[in-house]
Amino acid sequence: MEKNLTYKILEGHLVSGELKKGEEIGIKIDQTLTQDSTGTMVYLQLEAMNIKEINTDLSVAYIDHNTLQTGFENADDHEFIKSSAAKYGIVFSKPGNGICHQLHLENFGKPGGTLIGSDSHTPTNGGLGMISIGAGGLDVAVAMATGKYWLKMPEVLNVELTGKLNTWVSAKDIILYILDELSVKGGVGKVIEYSGEGLKYLSVTDRATITNMGAELGATTSIFPSDEETYKYLKSQNREDDFVELKADDNAEYDDVLEINLEDIVPLVAKPHSPDNVDTIENIKGLKVDQVAIGSCTNSSYTDLMKVANILKGEKVHPDVSLSISPGSSKILNMLAENGALADMISAGARVLECACGPCIGMGQAPKNNAISLRTFNRNFYGRSGTKSAHVYLVSPEVAAISAIRGSVEDPRKLGNIMDIDVPEIFKENDNLFVYPPNDRNGLEVKMGPNIKPFPINGQLKEGVDGKVVLNVGDDITTDHIMPSNASLLPYRSNIPYLSKYAFSTIDEDFWKRCEKNQGGFIIGGDNYGQGSSREHAALVPLYLGIKAIIVKSFARIHKANLINAGIIPLEFVDEENYKNIDIGDDLEITNLINELKVDGEVYIVNKTKDIKVKTKFTGSSRDVEILREGGYLNWVKKNFGGIKND
């Protein structure tokens, strides 16, 4: 059989199962990454497992999401993660060093390797030819402890790129074009593997922009071959030894193919409130802009920021616009400082922020009421900017920069000739914000502040469960709806009881009170429930509030895994009629759960209020069933891998 690249890398890492579409496989994990907002849970979970040290080639703990330190909570969390990193042999990246995915690309990602990370944009490193998957924190903790990760063998969709991008059209437009074609559900259960003649025009950081936003397609991951461009990039980072050439066999088999001629793409935008609400820049030209934010793990590379600096040079940011720029890494910021580009940005009137996620995760820069905010980020979900009435548009760095000057959306093709960016052959070394673990780690203890509260652990599955429907929502509910993140909530990522009062608060402020009154119950939802972030808080908070099962039309991959890991039963309606038959406040009962919960089993729910029986299905592996029966992954790990200290 002629093999595609995904198959080749998975084959080389396979520890259990068969590489057949839909079957559960176990793979060896070479590297893991965590970031602070999901990381505190990961290290609490690692503490709860009785391990001495990690079982991967490399694990890195980044601090990038919350670097504001508005109170002791946040600083204590950083200290907790730092001390855990030292104890278990994990590299620690200090706040200010940059955004995890950009830093991992620069410093650690390896073609042909495997990486899982407790952040949904981990696939960014697919730009280097690495299988990089976003997962819930507990999956990452188990991968650190065992060196393994289990997943359903995805389909492989080949995106074949031909032609060459037109002037002023960039990698961001390619992924927006694909989002328009496939939608935010189009990648579910798939790896997106890129190939074709068009690749030679895309640098590794362009490719990383594309694989990064593969998360918005719902894809398991996205991957590019490792070729001359990869070599050039690794060499620029003084890592040419990590290079191996990798590509699919000629005539490799794929489950599906999407052909894209890069010449057909024009500057694009994702309009509020979804990354697949794509339109052309031409169509929204002239729209008055209040805020422009450049950065995030999607568009904060050296090349992206040099393009921005060149556009801003000698110009002035419009008086009605606030322009912020957050570089992806301290290495990039350092280089911009040395070559004068930083001065060009500052003199144009840009607000240069720390190298971190910043406004992308609502850490500051919440726009004014009803503002139009152009962002080079990857998500424009409702409320994520911190201002519910704001309208966030996702665009390329080029569109962002020129619109900041004009004060309204502008088509960059108006600028005439494109400037050439001189990317240095060798980047300036800057290792000073990494802390490497000591060789002698004997006796090292973790340091835990008072904001770090124990996380909820479920009990074993019961034969019957009953309760009220406490929430009924529609399609495309994001993790930002379920567990919002902003400057006031992010400091409490290690405090589930506190966070529980804000669950679903962007759409229903009384949700938690209803849960408290009814001792939890059931949530009903539509398609693609739980899209977006890997934050397992979106499962742990409902668990804390007593949610027993979530019944929807379909789930997003990472969130479904997080629900299973937490021991919350994820069920899917078998037809539309059944979905319509349940209302908020209805009394539901599942009487035969232990019997019915099996691989692809049918689970019947009695709607006692309406006196009807509703048919649902459970789709998961036998391992998922075992995990749910044990009441979650930690209990399962305890049973299968030995003791857990603090249960």
Q: Which of 485, 528, 607, 616 binds ligand MIC (CB under 6 A)?
A: 485
Nearer Cβ to ligand SF4, position 148 or 331? 331
Please give the backbone phi and psi of residue 577, each rounded to the nearest 5 degrees, phi first: -55, -45
Instruction: Tell whether residue 478 is a contact of ligand MIC (CB under 6 A).
Output: no
B/e letters for 498-524, b = 16+ CB within 10 Å, e = fewer, are bbbbbbbbbbbeebbebbeebebbbbb
Q: Which two tokens stand for residue 50?
A: 């009785």
Site string for ligand SF4, 298-337 (x = CB under 6 A): ----------------------------------------
Instruction: Tell whether residue 37 is a contact of ligand MIC (CB under 6 A).
Output: yes
Binding partner of residue 534 among ligand MIC, ligand SF4, none, CB under 5 to 8 Å per kind? ligand MIC
Footprint of ligand SF4 on residues 187-206 (CB under 6 A)? none
Cβ atoms 645, 48 nearer than 8 A: yes
Instruction: Tell whether residue 159 is a contact of ligand SF4 (CB under 6 A).
Output: no
Q: Which of 84, 296, 303, 635 binds ligand SF4 (CB under 6 A)?
A: 296
Distance CA 644, CA 628 (A): 18
Distance CA 256, CA 205 (A): 26
Instruction: Tell whether residue 534 is a contact of ligand MIC (CB under 6 A).
Output: yes
Instruction: Tell whether residue 121 is a contact of ligand MIC (CB under 6 A).
Output: yes
Q: Shortest Cβ distance from residue 289 to ligand MIC (Å)? A: 23
Q: Which of 6, 38, 277, 303 binds ligand MIC (CB under 6 A)?
A: 38
Binding partner of residue 222 among ligand SF4, ligand MIC, none, CB under 5 to 8 Å per kind? none
Concatenated DSSP letters of 290-308? SEEEE-TTTS-SHHHHHHH
Nearer Cβ to ligand SF4, position 297 or 394? 297
Nearer Cβ to ligand MIC, position 119 or 139? 119
Helix 204-212 and helix 228-236, axial crossing angle in degrees, nearest 10: 100
Footprint of ligand SF4 on residues 90-149 (CB under 6 A)? 99, 119, 121
Number of residues lying near ligand SF4 (CB under 6 A): 11
Q: Shortest Cβ distance from residue 15 to ligand MIC (Å)? A: 25
Bridge partners, residue 133, by sequence: 116
Nearer Cβ to ligand SF4, position 242 or 480? 480
Q: Which of 67, 387, 533, 621 binds ligand MIC (CB under 6 A)?
A: 533
Binding partner of residue 291 among ligand MIC, ligand SF4, none, CB under 5 to 8 Å per kind? none
Footprint of ligand MIC on residues 414-443 (CB under 6 A)? none
Instruction: Tell whether residue 378 is a contact of ligand SF4 (CB under 6 A).
Output: yes
Q: Which of 17, 33, 41, 65 binds ligand MIC (CB under 6 A)?
A: 65
Cβ within 8 Å of residue 482, ≥6 positions away: 503, 504, 530, 538, 541, 542, 559
CA distances from 570 to 118, 154, 310, 619 (A): 21, 20, 50, 8
Distance CA 397, CA 402 (A): 9
B/e letters for 16-42, b = 16+ CB within 10 Å, e = fewer, are ebeeeeeebbbbbbbbbbbbbbbbbbb
Instruction: Tell whether residue 119 is a contact of ligand MIC (CB under 6 A).
Output: yes
Site string for ligand SF4, 348-367 (x = CB under 6 A): ---------x--xx------
Nearest to 184 by CA among 53, 379, 367, 393: 379
Distance CA 3, CA 201 (A): 24
Site string for ligand SF4, 254-293 (x = CB under 6 A): ----------------------------------------
Binding partner of residue 556 among ligand SF4, ligand MIC, none, CB under 5 to 8 Å per kind? none
The SS3 call for residue 593 is helix
Strand 58-62 and strand 91-93: the pairing is parallel
Instruction: Tell whether residue 152 is a contact of ligand MIC (CB under 6 A).
Output: no
Distance CA 315, CA 600 (A): 60
Q: Shortest Cβ distance from residue 466 to ligand SF4 (Å)? A: 38
- How many other C-beta atoms are found inside a 10 Å radius of the C-beta of residue 295? 31
Q: Which of 367, 532, 620, 632 binds ligand MIC (CB under 6 A)?
A: 532
Which among 115-123, 163-171, 260-268, 585-593 is the span making contact with ligand MIC, rule CB under 6 A? 115-123
3-state DSSP of 92-122: EECCCCECHHHHHHHHCCCCCCEEEECCCCH
Nearest to 543 by CA among 526, 519, 513, 579: 519
Q: Shortest Cβ distance from residue 135 to ligand MIC (Å)? A: 9
Binding partner of residue 296 among ligand SF4, ligand MIC, none, CB under 5 to 8 Å per kind? ligand SF4
Q: Which two tokens stand for residue 10?
A: 């998975």
Footprint of ligand SF4 on residues 57-86 (CB under 6 A)? 65
Distance CA 475, CA 462 (A): 29
Place of tokens 């492989």: 156
Q: Shortest Cβ distance from residue 99 to ligand SF4 (Å)? A: 5
- What amino acid is encoded at 345 in this protein? M
Distance CA 624, CA 233 (A): 39
Peptide bond into 273 cis (omega under 30): yes
Q: Shortest Cβ distance from residue 215 to ligand SF4 (Å)? A: 8
Order of all β-strands in the sheet with 114-117: 131-134, 114-117, 31-35, 58-62, 91-93, 434-435
- What amino acid is encoded at 14 in this protein? L
Q: Shortest Cβ distance from residue 357 to ligand SF4 (Å)? A: 3
Q: Shortest Cβ distance from residue 393 to ligand MIC (Å)? A: 17
Binding partner of residue 562 among ligand MIC, ligand SF4, none, CB under 5 to 8 Å per kind? none
Q: Which of 141, 361, 470, 563 binds ligand MIC (CB under 6 A)?
A: 361
The SS3 call for residue 12 is helix
Calculate the dihedral angle through the C-alpha atoms of 327, 328, 329, 331, rounding to the nearest 10 degrees.
-70
Q: Which two tokens stand for residue 142?
A: 């188990």
Q: Which of 78, 87, 535, 548 binds ligand MIC (CB under 6 A)?
A: 535
Instruction: Tell whether residue 135 is a contact of ligand MIC (CB under 6 A).
Output: no
Instruction: Tell whether residue 384 is a contact of ligand SF4 (CB under 6 A).
Output: no
Q: Which of 223, 297, 539, 588 binds ligand SF4 (CB under 6 A)?
A: 297
Instruction: Tell whether residue 375 is a contact of ligand SF4 (CB under 6 A).
Output: no
Q: Shortest Cβ distance from residue 493 to ligand MIC (Å)? A: 7
For the chain, the straight-line distance linking the first and the last C-alpha, in angstroms and rounded, comes to 48
Nearer Cβ to ligand SF4, position 27 or 361? 361
Chain residues in the site for ligand SF4 (CB under 6 A): 65, 99, 119, 121, 296-297, 357, 360-361, 377-378
Contact residues for ligand MIC (CB under 6 A)? 37-38, 65, 119-121, 134, 361, 379, 485, 532-535
